[in-house]
Amino acid sequence: MGRAWAVALLLVAGISFSCASRVPEEQLLLRETTTGRTSSAAGLGQRGSNGAALPVVLWHGMGDSCCSMGSMGSIKQLIEDKLGVFVHSIATGVGEYQDVWSSFYGNVNQQVGKVCGELASMEELKGGFNMVGFSQGGQFLRAVVQRCGRRLPPVHSLITLGGQHQGVANTPGCSVDLTGAAAKACTAMQLLLARGAYAPWVRENIVQAQYFKDPLQIDSYLRYNIFMPDINNERDDKNAAYADNLASLQRLVLFRFDEDTTVVPRDSAWFSFWDGAETVIPLKDQPLYKEDWLGLRRLDEAGGLIFESAPGEHMQFTLKWFEEKVVDAYLA
């Protein structure tokens, strides 16, 4: 696929890009939902040495921005009001326009590197902190933990909601709730992935291509994908520091949405993935766990790897659910 064609498609997507008319793809639905199960670790919130709750870092998902009061801004305010702690919501672009755009178009390795530097320099985080990743923000925060290592203050808990830890085998869907130019941007992303997720320009510039994993083309995935094979330690040259850094967490909490059709397969949120046919292989049956490529087995044996379920479709939850199942259970 030619670079000129790809750039033209992005220009069409970007015409009159106005976040003011946008409803984020991963919006908060302000309705009552059936609550998911609670693990045995619920209620064991983590606190600093002075007994206070720890600061929190958030990374939003596709089609969203750091601070919109229709989504991440409301979550940030909820945590601040409930716990009285410092909350940093990550932005990978300057202003809402660029922040939303960068959730579709950009280089994830560069974004992760930038975030590492920001978090390492924040005085408010010096005593340690917790992190919550929403959808693709989940695996991006995991990359921060694995790659930043000793550069960061202690990261106690990483909580991911609907993350794509084993990638996606199909292009992420554009929600019917996504409108205007954001919907155009998402559609352009889908067309580019359909024309070749591992094509040079696409794999370097389309965020979702950087965690696209075709189970029928694993060799191409391992050779050409610039992000996911590295952070999952899937190549022959394993990075031992990745496993040590992730195993140093006190807790890794993985929420999967029970009716998720955006993440294919949905159990990628639990590190599960297809075996190349139609069978989804659970994490504990994979070499990734058995040979402990990422430190997940060590974390599990220490009681720090927690699998949770959330009701409904991808990222469709209420503030009340988030308060009970995430804030109260794992941050308070």
Residues marked as catalytic: 135, 260, 314
Tokens of 271: 């590190």
Q: Which residues have CB under 8 Å from 41's CB, separation 6+?
A: 251, 253, 303, 306, 329, 330
Residue of 108, 158, 140 lying closest to 296 (CA atoms): 158
Q: How far apart are CA 19 and CA 17, in angstroms?
A: 7
Q: How far apart are CA 273 and CA 165, in angstroms?
A: 9
User: Phi-psi region for residue 312, left (φ > 0), alpha (ψ -120 to 50) or beta?
Assistant: left
H-state helical runs in the chain: 3-14, 72-83, 95-102, 108-120, 136-148, 180-194, 200-205, 218-224, 228-231, 240-247, 287-290, 296-301, 319-322
Q: Measured in whole angstroms, how far is the alpha carbon of residue 125 from the centre of its chain?
A: 20
Strands 305-310 and 280-281: unpaired
Q: How many CB atoms lie within 10 A of CB 283?
A: 22
Residue 130 phi, psi (nearest 5)? -110, 160
DSSP code of residue 47: B
Q: How far apart are the first and last CA of the chain?
A: 49
Tokens of 142: 């995991």
